[in-house]
Amino acid sequence: MFAVQMPLPTIDMRPICPVCRQPADLLAQWSPAQATRVCKACAQKYRYDLDIFIHAPGKGRLGLKSNRDASTEQIGHYNFLSQTLMDAAKGCRHAIRRLAGPEYVAPCELYKFDMTCPACVRKQKHATRYARMRITREYTLRLPVCDRCGCTHSRRYEHGDQDFIAYCQHCEDELNVETFWRCRAIFGDADPEEILDRVQKSHPGLFERNVLPNYWFALMIGERNDGN
């Protein structure tokens, strides 16, 4: 048994075009690179040069891809139409006006809020909620104390909230050397000198800060003493 939508006498049951907001018998994809579906009238009104796409048949299928030889004017016109139609499909009441002429400037482009535009209302709600989350978020910064040796340091992350790093430079270098020591099987049958030469090429800072080669041989001596 299948459920069938019965047509109502006073309501047009045809799909609504997201651009012109008018009912249409059929909606079709406006561009192969965009999922926005428009009516036939909008597809003919907002046409673009088909030369920006070329056939790119694949294995068992037919496809299209962007034409790198297309002119800058063709690509710019297509990108302008694509972005405008996407904004219109999202509810922006200024998107279609922008197509009338380049002299029209939407209030949202001037960072003004339009209560009559559904897209602006959604953006404002999202911005308000995001700002409220940032204000109420609690930041817990670390103390500038190394978790390994307990000494103070001034190392911070370069991005984000620039919190202090968990380890000082010397302890972080020693931890990196210990990682190489535990994974030394990846070097195969190479002797310690060959291993250190390869480490020096990938991590020269360990040698510049005088952590290697001394700490490597200290780990070797410690392992022999534990074995005895």
Whether 21 is covered by a domain: the verdict is no
Q: How far is CA 75 from CA 66, 67, 69, in A?
A: 10, 9, 10
Residues 35 and 129 in one domain: yes
The span from the CA of 104 to the CA of 80, in Å, is: 14
Whether 16 is covered by a domain: the verdict is no
Q: Which of 107, 133, 159 delimits the end of a domain?
A: 133
- In this predicted structure, the answer to whether residue 58 has a pLDDT above a threshold of 80 is no
Q: Residue 140, SS3? A: coil
Q: What is the mean pLDDT of residues 167-193?
A: 91
Q: How would you classify the pairing of strands 64-66 and 53-55? A: antiparallel
Q: Which of 133, 151, 179 delimits the end of a domain?
A: 133
Residues 80 and 108 in one domain: yes
Q: Look at residues 125, 123, 33 and name the one whose alpha carbon lies nearest to residue 85.
A: 33
Q: Residue 176: which domain range?
A: 141-223
Mean residue pLDDT across the chain: 80
- In this predicted structure, the answer to whether residue 161 has a pLDDT above a threshold of 80 is no
- Number of Cα atoms under 13 Å in the Cβ half of residue 146: 17
Residues 146 and 195 in one domain: yes
Number of domains, the chain: 2
Q: Residue 109, SS3? A: helix
- CA-based torsion, 202, 204, 205, 206: positive or negative: positive
Residues 111 and 127 in one domain: yes
Q: What is the mean pLDDT of residues 142-162?
A: 84
Residues 153 and 124 in one domain: no
Instruction: Note the pLDDT tens digit of each residue in 3-16.
Output: 565 666 667 778 88
The span from the CA of 160 to the CA of 166, in Å, is: 15
- In this predicted structure, the answer to whether residue 158 has a pLDDT above a threshold of 90 is no
Residues 34 and 129 in one domain: yes
Instruction: Note the pLDDT tens digit of each residue in 35-57.
Output: 888 888 888 888 888 888 887 76
Q: Which of 109, 133, 157 delimits the end of a domain?
A: 133
